[in-house]
């Protein structure tokens, strides 16, 4: 099927081309992000393949529909960037890759926690400069600390299990659908306020929905323990960045590990190293010694990219054959809060 692939980077092209050898779709690769300004590129393509920061709001979807596009194949799990109501009313089929490698994101989450609490980002630079002084590098043991996991689906449950079994932590969870297996392993489900009040480390793994927008805000930060470590590898807008900056300035937040940022669409996946960063909020975060930011790379492993490419093409093949794509997003269920 003729497919316009937006936001293409070399690795997308490489993994999609390799997986496409078996199925033979007509893939056209565009570096541009899909926005109102670039959607003309998709004219005449029955399918578009998009990523996390492509913009599929109503005006873009209307333009795509007018150009003959009928399938939106997301090569990611999250779909907060798609106006599903508009997509439904315009007759689009929307498919995603719901589970490619939850391990990739869970392991990156743990890497951020360990790097922050053992100050690896500082130590790395010091040693390279011949500075072997330990002042300022004091960490703490994870053993017996309390970890709060918000959202215990595929990724959050792996993170919870690693902290329970691997590090001997007490794990508190918060989710609208508790996971019985985690309870049997010793995790406790609690209200959000209790999780915030009791956790030494808080990590976010719920989707971005209207009800989770700015879940971490002035009020939730207020409930948190002094010096809490906060990790977000889920979606940027779960966190009110300004509230978190105020928390960092007072010391209430003792460490921040981010793989996502609410305004990341203008920054991430680009080499901006010779440009001036115009986002003052992001630039302020970079000044803190206890903040580690990675540019939405938690998914970025060999295994995950192979699975994403294979499952994206499977969705396209099924649609082309008039079948239900395995990663179909059932809009009714999402809108009814059942997904
Ligand atoms: P999942 O659907 O398996 O799990 C999400 C969990 O969040 C579910 O258990 C759900 O019940 C829960 N949830 C929903 N609303 C909630 C609320 N209001 N409060 C608390 N919990 C709530 O999803 P997953 O595969 O574990 O992925 C989690 C998120 O990770 C995705 O939504 C996506 O945004 C993000 N993600 C990030 C990357 C990355 O590279 N950084 C990669 C993949 C996924």
Q: 3-state secondary structure string, 275-330? A: CCCCCHHHHHHHCCCCEEECCCCCCCCHHHHHHHHHHHHHHHHHHHCCCCCCCECC
The yes-or-no verdict on residue 337 having pLDDT over 80 is no
143 CA distance to ligand 1 middle (Å):
26
- Using pLDDT thresholds of 50, 70 and 90, give the confidence band for residue 339: low
Report d(CA 51, CA 7) in Å as an integer: 7
Q: Is 174 in the pocket of ligand 1 (CB under 6 A)?
A: yes
Per-residue pLDDT tens over the stretch 118-138: 999 999 999 999 999 999 999
205 CA distance to ligand 1 middle (Å):
5
The yes-or-no verdict on residue 332 having pLDDT over 90 is no
* Residue located nearest, by CA, to atom 2 of ligand 1: 153
- Share above pLDDT 90 across residues of the chain, in percent, rounded to a whole number: 95
- Share above pLDDT 70 across residues of the chain, in percent, rounded to a whole number: 99
41 CA distance to ligand 1 middle (Å):
31
Q: Residues 6 or more apart from 312 whose CB is under 8 A from it?
A: 16, 19, 49, 73, 74, 75, 97
Annotated catalytic residue within 33, 235, 262, 314? 235
Report d(CA 9, CA 226) in Å as an integer: 41
Q: Is 235 in the pocket of ligand 1 (CB under 6 A)?
A: yes
Average confidence (pLDDT) over 308-321:
98
266 alpha-carbon distance from chain centroid: 16
Residue 172: its pLDDT value, please? 98
89 CA distance to ligand 1 middle (Å):
26
CA terminus-to-terminus distance, the chain: 28
Residue 28: its pLDDT value, please? 98
In 3-state terms, what secondary structure has residue 59? helix
Average confidence (pLDDT) over 318-332:
95
From 332, 292, 337, 318, select the one nearest 73 (Cα to Cα).
318
235 CA distance to ligand 1 middle (Å):
9
Q: Is 337 in the pocket of ligand 1 (CB under 6 A)?
A: no
Average confidence (pLDDT) over 104-122:
98
Q: Are 192 and 136 in contact (CB under 8 A)?
A: no
7 CA distance to ligand 1 middle (Å):
23
CB-CB neighbours of 195 under 10 Å: 23
Q: Is 233 in the pocket of ligand 1 (CB under 6 A)?
A: yes
Report d(CA 64, CA 66) in Å as an integer: 5
Q: Is 77 in the pocket of ligand 1 (CB under 6 A)?
A: yes
The yes-or-no verdict on residue 45 having pLDDT over 80 is yes
From 327, 314, 319, 321, select the one nearest 16 (Cα to Cα).
314
Q: Is 148 in the pocket of ligand 1 (CB under 6 A)?
A: no
Average confidence (pLDDT) over 83-93:
96
- Choosing from 52, 74, 77, 109 the residue with most ligand 1 atoms within 8 A of its CB, the one to mutate for a pocket test is 77
Q: Alpha helix locations (H) across the chain?
A: 10-23, 58-66, 84-89, 102-117, 120-128, 154-161, 180-184, 192-198, 218-223, 241-250, 280-286, 302-320, 331-335
Average confidence (pLDDT) over 317-337:
92
Q: Which residue has the higher pLDDT, 266 or 7?
A: 7
- Using pLDDT thresholds of 50, 70 and 90, give the confidence band for residue 162: very high
From 173, 168, 167, select the one nearest 153 (Cα to Cα).
173
The yes-or-no verdict on residue 178 having pLDDT over 70 is yes
The CA-based dihedral angle spanning residues 23, 24, 28, 32, taken in that order and rounded to the nearest 10 degrees? 10
Side-chain half-sphere CA neighbours of 328 within 13 A: 15
Annotated catalytic residue within 25, 33, 96, 264? 264
For residue 296, indicate whether it is catalytic.
Answer: yes
Residue 106: its pLDDT value, please? 98
Annotated catalytic residue within 33, 96, 205, 296? 296
Q: Is 212 in the pocket of ligand 1 (CB under 6 A)?
A: yes
- Choosing from 206, 235, 305 the residue with most ligand 1 atoms within 8 A of its CB, the one to mutate for a pocket test is 206
* Residue located nearest, by CA, to atom 9 of ligand 1: 153
């Amino acid at each position: 099927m003729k497919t316009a692939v937006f936001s293409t980077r070399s690795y997308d092209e490489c993994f999609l081309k390799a997986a496409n050898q078996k199925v033979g779709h007509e893939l056209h690769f565009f570096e541009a992000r899909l926005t109102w300004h670039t959607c003309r590129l998709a004219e005449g393509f029955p399918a578009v393949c998009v990523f996390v920061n492509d913009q599929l709001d109503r005006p873009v979807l209307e333009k795509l529909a007018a150009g003959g596009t009928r399938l939106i194949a997301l090569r990611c799990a999250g779909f907060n960037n798609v106006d599903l109501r508009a997509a439904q009313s315009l007759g689009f089929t929307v498919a995603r890759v719901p589970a490619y490698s939850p391990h990739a994101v869970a392991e990156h989450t743990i890497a951020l926690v360990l790097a922050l609490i053992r100050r690896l980002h500082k130590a790395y630079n010091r040693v390279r400069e011949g500075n072997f002084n330990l002042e300022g590098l004091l960490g703490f043991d994870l053993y017996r600390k309390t970890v709060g996991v918000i959202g215990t689906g595929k990724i959050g449950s792996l993170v919870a299990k690693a902290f329970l079994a691997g590090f001997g932590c007490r794990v508190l969870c918060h989710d609208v659908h508790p996971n019985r297996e985690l309870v049997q392993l010793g995790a406790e489900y609690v209200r959000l306020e209790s999780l915030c009040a009791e956790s030494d480390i808080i990590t976010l793994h719920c989707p971005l929905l209207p009800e989770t927008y700015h879940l971490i805000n002035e009020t939730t930060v207020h409930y948190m323990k002094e010096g809490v470590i906060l990790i977000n590898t889920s979606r940027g807008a779960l966190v009110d960045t300004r509230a978190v900056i105020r928390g960092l300035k007072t010391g209430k937040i003792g460490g921040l590990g981010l793989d996502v940022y609410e305004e990341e669409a203008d920054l991430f996946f680009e080499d901006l190293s010779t440009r001036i960063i115009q986002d003052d909020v992001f630039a302020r975060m970079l000044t803190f010694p206890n903040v580690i930011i990675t540019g939405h790379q938690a998914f970025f492993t060999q295994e995950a990219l192979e699975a994403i490419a294979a499952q994206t093409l499977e969705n396209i093949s099924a649609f082309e054959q008039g079948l239900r794509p395995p990663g179909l997003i059932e809009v009714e269920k999402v809108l009814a809060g059942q997904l």
